[in-house]
Amino acid sequence: MTAVPVVPLPPPAIPELATPSVWPASAVSAPGGDVTVGGVSLTELAERYGTPAYVLDEDEVRSRARAWRRALPDAEVVYAGKAFLSRAVVDWMEEEGLGLDVCSAGELELAATRGFPAERIVMHGNAKSPEDLRTALRLGVGRIVIDSDCEIARLAAHVPGPDAQPVMVRVLPGIEAGGHKKIRTGAEGQKFGLSIAGGDAEDAVARVLGQPRLELIGLHSHLGSQIASPEPYAQSVRRVIAFMARIRDRYGITLPELDLGGGFAVAYLPGDPAPAPAAYGRRISDELVSSCAEFGFPMPRLTVEPGRSVMAPAGIALYRVLSVKRSGSEVFVAVDGGMSDNPRPALYGARYTVRMVGRASSAPMRATTVAGRHCEAGDVLAEAVELPEDVRPGDILAVPASGAYQVSMASGYNMTGRPPVVAVSRGRSRLLVRRETFDDHRRRDVGL
């Protein structure tokens, strides 16, 4: 696809496009009310690939990956594949020098199809299946993160030898952080990790050290998601380094690695707090130096696992309006997607910016609810968003900050089919993931 002529955006007219953390940096306004991303018209993409569709600005993804490497040049940066993973994304991460965090045999096998170096892969999961563990061991992943006591013996029994499998223990530092209670994973009393305060983490460490086929190389922690301040990470560094020092003193082993996980916030609405990677990097590095000095512990190799902060701001969801309904003072605009391609609003109240593209309108703006097409009252994509009063069926709506935890969490609800994913870069587009069709559903249904 050839590049579309673009004009500079007047910030007062469309303020949300002036916020790079909400839209990709390449997003600019174009004639006729359109918006281009990566030099490609969103309207043309909707026409060419249909709707709903997801657009990824490849250059934005790469830029954000590089920003994390610059923020922590001495650390290992590992992309959290659960945010969104495809074969192209695997290639982008390898080319940008990032490792890969996977949570299932499926994600691991996908990485293997692209020849991603297994030693740069971290395997997660609070309940890894036998297939997950067998696949990780067969492919030789660099680290497996142990998340429960019962996983220790099970994993050790499957290590073929003669070399021990490098592992980390996921610990709970007892820190409450994250944008919603359903995405907070570092506090006590939930399914992830092993408590430092309660003694479970130390028990697990002792058991791993007693398994000759497992090599304990470090500790892992993950506080949650949408953490909009570096301070919780600094607290986690201090608590985990203190625990690593205690392990050294009691067991005579100095663990060489510390993985702080991810969860770094992005902006979904203009004005949302979303520190740059450099801000997180400075605070984490300062606290690591300070804590190691305080506890007399040698500096471990640091790992961070950004996923959302690499992928979300690079993605845009495109929908077509199917109906407009006015009920009292409320306006409902229903589109051809919904919770089947984006369950986040229904799961934990996620909020989004929405903009009409492809048609200029002089009508006044009005608070509008953008609803999905599915048979659930909770199928609402965005509430109280400003759209023109004359929005009508056939119009195209664009939802920025849609690159993470949407397509990766998509379902087959109502057999509508999961949407395609399209990459844009330098005025051209290419299909990464095709649209799921009824034939795909039919082939899976083998019972008669």
DSSP 227: B
**Nearest residue to 135 (alpha-carbon basis) of 110, 115, 152:** 110
Cα 33 from Cα 319, distance rounded (Å): 16
Helix locations, 265-368, DSSP H: 277-295, 308-311, 344-348
Q: Strand, coil or helix: what is 28?
A: strand
Nearest to 380 by CA among 319, 415, 321, 333: 333
Question: Which residue, 170, 165, 175, is CA-closest to 143?
Answer: 165
Q: What φ, ψ does residue 354 adopt, rounded to 5°? A: -130, 140
Give me the amino acid identity at 226: Q
Give the number of other Cβ atoms within 10 Å of residue 184's Cβ: 20
DSSP letters of 218-286? EEE---BS-B--SHHHHHHHHHHHHHHHHHHHHHS----EEE----B---SSTT-----HHHHHHHHHH
Residue 19 φ/ψ region, left for φ over 0, alpha for ψ in the -120 to 50 degree band, beta for the rest: beta
Q: Which residues have a Cβ under 8 Å from the Cβ of 8 and sit 6 or more positions away?
A: 28, 29
Other Cβ atoms closer than 10 A to 11: 11
Question: Residue 298 carries which DSSP code?
Answer: P
Find the catalytic residue in 103, 150, 292, 375: 375
- Strand 257-259 vs strand 214-220: parallel, antiparallel, or unpaired? parallel
Tokens representing 191? 């399914």
150 is catalytic: no
Token pair of 319, please? 């929908």
**N-to-C CA span, the chain:** 44
- Find all residues with CB under 8 Å of 162, minimum gap 6, and list them: none
Tell me how far apart the alpha carbons of residues 293 and 289 are, in angstroms, rounded to a whole number: 6
In contact, 317 and 54? CB cutoff 8 Å: yes
> Hunting for tokens 């050839």 — which residue is that?
2
Closest by alpha carbon to 228, among 156, 292, 276?
A: 276
Bridge partner residues of 206 (DSSP): none
Q: Which residues face 258 on adjacent strands?
A: 219, 302
Provide the CB-side half-sphere exposure for 410 (13 A, CA): 27
| Residues designated catalytic | 375
